Chain A
Amino acid sequence: MILQPAALALQLIALLVSLMGIFAGYYGIKILGHWDPASGSEGQLELERRTYLVSTIMSYILSFELMSLFLFIYTADDLHSLFTGAMCAAGTLAVNSFGYPTLILKILNFLLAGVWLIVNHADNRGYDYPLIRVKYRLLNLVVPLLLLESGLLFAYFAGLKPDIITSCCGSLFSHESGSFSGDLASLPHLAMQIAFFSGMAITLASGLFFYLRGRTGYLFSIAVTVTFLIAIASILSFISLYFYELPTHHCPFCLLQKEYGYIGYLLYATLFGGAVTGIGVGVLMPFRKVGSLSSIVPAIQRRLTLVAFVCYLMFTLVTIWKMIFSGLKLVP
């Protein structure tokens, strides 16, 4: 158990997000069960009013998730001095087995909440509530994950006892470590670089094609998702090295620090922004032909594609820029 203002703040947010999630999920189930747009009955009118509440709650959840994601990493970094051997956030998160699952779930929930809002946006533009069932089924998938995330967060902070010897960045991401993160870091630089740049190239090309021609949307969306994972592996494997200018420091969190010009915020903002919008394109693909949405969805998809394209392009450009101008040269 740790009584630190930021830890308390994070647990407070988790509590609020859970409560909001339960509330939204409850009305989601009610809406799924009793929805009848043809009726003008008072019950239906009440449900329609509730949809505004659920959308509002979800947009708040999305922004809270995004803000608390960075606060979580920052807090982990701040707390590292309490744990012998922890040099930064990477070490603090490894103090007990709940740290990394919480982080991964936070990212996942952010992406899901973003996708939900994209679907919601499309649904609101159709005059016959075309996606109402899709939307609330998706909601019922998101809510349990939100609750799980909060549970993990509480478990993580409850299990933090200052002074447990933990691994620091250096050893956590070292070649000897057999852990998941260690494996990523030990991926060969050259292979990762090839995977990263070809992934980005395929994503950008398919995005451009989809933007111009309106075809191969699924390909683009899958490329975005796969490249998102490759990009995170690449940050661990080689991108971080160029920024730290150290051949052994693989930490994905120190990039967020002042010493590196807060470049991490730009990298992660573009990566997450691109992922949410790019996945959104794919999720909307099945609804291009739905009557009331046939002219709306393609327009929304084009805009999402543009955002995803620009985000990923920026991520790539920043990476290339640093690879050229970094003091570190990785010789494959």
Chain B
Amino acid sequence: MIELSGITKSFNSGKANQFTAVDNVTLVINPKQITVFKGPSGSGKTSLLTMIGCMARPTSGRIFLRGVAAAVPFQQDGVEVVEITSLPERFLNDIRRSTFGFIFQQFNLVKGITVLENVMLPAYPTGEGRADFRARALKLLEQFDIVRLAGQRVELLSGGELQRVAIARALINNPSIIIADEPTAHLDSKLSQEFMTIVGCLKGEGKSVLIASHDPIVFDSLLVDSQVEMRDGAVVNSRSCR
């Protein structure tokens, strides 16, 4: 479970061009569900997800992660809650690496290296043996039916293939929460449907999925468990779809 309490993120504070991307958001996100953040661009969805995903720290407010303690290296046994907003970058990063997997709007794959290397990339700095995560990467490629592309450079792939590589990469460190930012923005309807099918499978495996999207194929999907509607940095509506 993820709990947000009074989360605010502002940029250029104290200057003339100050603006607040996320304004005092308090929210509870349930585990093992698909939660969609809905709203126009600039409504603060992405900023909120970067803070939940330990990529950025809020200017004020607190975020609690419950039930992910096992993935936090410094945590003492028996403590279930981690408050992530006061942690230094290297600890946030440890949590991010082990707990979250990210799928980006532009897929953000590294050009010039192969599909397999792209999928393995998040595991490089973990200190895990290369052979171990290589085997896992190949298994993921198999799961998404793209093993044949393993040795290919990513520039040569089609949109659907890129998307699957991006999903495989998000899963390489075996995270419990997947965060996807506008994942279908560059996909046609068929591929968007396919994406939702994959997301459904992930949910079936017990992962939590958080998606920022203004695509009806995503937020009207029957798979979605709850919707959070945002506008101007604030949550205007939050409801369960069940």
Contact = CB atoms under 8 A, between A and B. Distances in A.
Interface of A: 37-38, 40-42, 45, 48, 124-125, 127-129, 292, 295-296
B80 interface: no
Contact of A292 (B11, B58, B59, B74): B74
Contacts, number: 30
A129 B88 contact: yes
Contacts of B76: 295
Contact of A42 (B13, B85, B89): B13
Contacts of B90: 124
B64 interface: no
B89 A37 contact: no
25 contacts: A37-B86, A37-B88, A38-B86, A40-B57, A40-B58, A40-B59, A40-B60, A40-B85, A41-B59, A42-B13, A42-B59, A45-B57, A48-B88, A48-B89, A124-B90, A125-B74, A127-B74, A127-B87, A127-B88, A127-B91, A128-B88, A129-B88, A292-B74, A295-B76, A296-B74
Main secondary structure of the interface of B (DSSP, over half): loop
Instruction: Give the residue among B74, B85, B88 with the most A Cβ atoms within 10 A.
Output: B88
Contacts of B91: 127
Contacts of B12: 42
Interface in B48-92: 57-60, 74, 76, 85-91
Contacts of A38: 86
Contacts of A128: 86, 88
A125 B91 CA distance: 9
Given A48-B88, A127-B87, A129-B88, 10 more contacts: A40-B58, A40-B85, A42-B12, A42-B13, A42-B59, A48-B89, A124-B90, A127-B74, A128-B86, A128-B88
Contacts of B11: 42
Nearest to B76: A295
Nearest to B75: A127
Contacts of A42: 11-13, 59
Smallest CB-CB A-B distances: 9 pairs: A40-B57, A127-B91, A40-B59, A40-B58, A127-B74, A127-B87, A38-B86, A42-B13, A41-B59
A35 to B, nearest CB: 12
A129 B87 CA distance: 9
A296 B12 CA distance: 37
Contacts of A127: 74, 87-88, 91
B122 to A, nearest CB: 20
A38 B58 CA distance: 11
Contacts of B74: 125, 127, 292, 296
Contacts of A45: 57
Contacts of A48: 88-89
A45 B87 CA distance: 11
Nearest to A132: B88
Nearest to B89: A48
B220 to A, nearest CB: 35
Contacts of B87: 127
B86 A41 contact: no
Contacts of B59: 40-42
